Amino acid sequence: MKNSLINKYNVAGPRYTSYPTVPYWDNNSFSSKTWKDSLIKSFNESNSSEGLSLYLHLPFCESLCTFCGCNKRITKRHEVESPYITAVLKEWDMYCELFNGKPHIKEIHLGGGTPTFFSTGNLKRLIDGLLRKATLAEGYEFSFEGHPNNTTKDHLQTLYDLGFRRVSFGVQDYNEVVQVAIHRIQPFENVKRVTEEAREIGYTSVSHDIIFGLPFQTIEHVEETIKKTKELMPDRLAFYSYAHVPWIKGNGQRGFKDEDLPTPQTKRRQYELGKELLSEAGFVEIGMDHFALKSDSLYKSIDQQKLHRNFMGYTASKTQAMIGLGVSSISDSWYGFAQNVKGLEEYYHLIDENIIPIYRGHLLNEKDLIIRKHILNLMCQFHTSWDNKELYFEELPEVLERLEEMEADGLMKIQGNNIQVTEKGKPFVRNICMAFDLLLQENMPETQLFSMTI
Ligand SMILES: C[S@@+](CC[C@H](N)C(=O)[O-])C[C@H]1O[C@@H](n2cnc3c(N)ncnc32)[C@H](O)[C@@H]1O
Ligand code: SF4
């Protein structure tokens, strides 16, 4: 790929797990009451047909990885597990009381932090407690994130028995120099063991997270990591671009210097080589950062036009409402977003006071909903189309101007009221979404809020 294109489009940009993106939420449009009303409306419209998704944030990790951008609390004290589960279940009870009828659960995802920090007994208490107040939707999918260094066979079996069929393991990179720099020593044997045990137990989708653009990572390291990945052939792969956001994550991302990171050109070559090697091995690129084998439900969901993206990343089916439980979790009622407080102490305090622990959010207006639809189409299908009467385009000829410039650069084809992202344009899908993002265009941030798009 030409350097001029990389230089032109390597700008700070959102990853669009929501629209509007979190820094552009209008907290004035939002209150605890309006948020609850929007969730009840969504529940009434979609609970019996689609069901709800639940995201649970389990924030504890035993050791700090210095590249990590997640909300986590580092501790070796496992006494923290039980009070946390009790608080999350109480939060769930508060939500259940809002609804007229039992929630119908379509998806549960345990994220973190490290869900496998928790003992099997505590994880069972958590899932049993959630399901006590709910029924299960047809074709429900439960998934969790496991750390290969501490996921035991017992974890895999217990969660399987509770209905989990999908697991993703954090791999990042197999090279030792890179592993030392990111403070995450994790031999291939550990990943091999958990991948094989998950398969033996009967998990139908095993996923690995790998990252390019890490400190000291070379093109050869990426090649080697993908070679080893092919030995284990996960069903899905997240191939993330390292998001360097030290201004958000404080010292956590300062275990190495900026000069230790690959240049944008090397990073782009790492991505392109990775993509080539993965497609040779039968993986198909799904939306942004994700690859899947054709046998995996994520790939099948594209054919059926069901692929969806939310705060959990890509999912194989859409639910209108997603409730996030635990510190820092984000909930989405389709008409609004709400985020929980990030500090554990504040979280416990609000739960003790019987208050749903949200602290900020956004209610979507008519224009937000139109833009949200286009961004979701682009992120999930690399395609979108619009109606001539759609107010947004009539009012904003400059959106079309921005798109025409990208068409001239070969990133997309505009035909009538349709946009199709080209192969060349796929790595720039975040930039294409930015052309639609009215709030960002109207108010470009003066300091860097987002990671670079490349
Ligand atoms: C919560 S962690 C996965 C579970 C478990 N804690 C582990 O580390 O194995 C989620 C994933 O986010 C990705 N991730 C975290 N920080 C990132 C960053 N700064 N840039 C890109 N990906 C990141 C990693 O690939 C990681 O595996
Ligand atoms: S990458 Fe996983 S284990 Fe490491 S600090 Fe982040 S959440 Fe914890």
pLDDT in tens, 369-380: 989 999 999 999
Angle between helices 153-161 and 120-132 (to 10 degrees): 10
pTM of the model: 0.92
- Going by alpha carbons, the residue nearest to atom 1 of ligand 2 is 68
Is the peptide bond prior to 20 cis by the omega test (within 30 degrees of 0)? yes
Cα 73 to ligand 2 centre (Å): 9
Q: What is the pLDDT of residues 51-106, one digit of tens each?
A: 999 999 999 999 999 999 999 999 999 999 999 999 999 999 999 999 999 999 99
Question: d(Cα 145, Cα 296) in Å, to the nearest integer?
Answer: 17
Q: Which atom of ligand 1 is nearest to the CA of 112?
A: 1
Which residues sit with their C-beta closer than 6 Å to ligand 2?
A: 61, 64-65, 68, 70, 72, 112-114, 147, 170
Residue 333 in this model has a pLDDT that exceeds 60: yes
- pLDDT of residue 250 exceeding 60, the answer is no
**Which atom of ligand 1 is closest in space to residue 148's alpha carbon?**
9
* Mean pLDDT confidence for 317-325: 92
Mean pLDDT of 7-34: 86
Of 177-186, 276-285, 393-402, which gets the smallest average pLDDT? 393-402
The pLDDT, as a whole number, for residue 251 is: 52
Q: What is the pLDDT of residues 142-154, one digit of tens each?
A: 999 999 999 999 9
With H, G, I as helix, E, B as strand and everything else as coil, classify residue 454. coil
Q: Cα dist. 128→59, 134, 153, 331, 376 in Å? A: 20, 10, 20, 21, 33
Which ligand is in closest contact with the Cα of 210? 1
Q: Give the Å distance between the CA of 45 and the centre of ligand 2.
A: 37
Which stretch of 87-101, 195-209, 213-227, 313-327 has the lowest confidence by average pLDDT? 313-327
Give the mean pLDDT of 346-350: 98
Instruction: Determine the straight-line distance between the first and last CA of the chain, rounded to whole angstroms.
Output: 12
385 dihedral zone (left: phi>0; alpha: psi -120 to 50; beta): beta
The pLDDT, as a whole number, for residue 367 is 87
Ligand 2 centroid to Cα of residue 222, in Å, is 20
Which positions ≥6 away from 454 have C-beta within 8 Å? 6, 9, 10, 241, 264, 267, 268, 271, 427
The per-residue pLDDT for range 104-122, each reduced to its tens digit, is: 999 999 999 999 999 999 9
- Regarding the beta carbon of 213 and ligand 1, being less than 6 Å apart is answered no
Indicate which residue's Cα is closest to atom 4 of ligand 2: 65
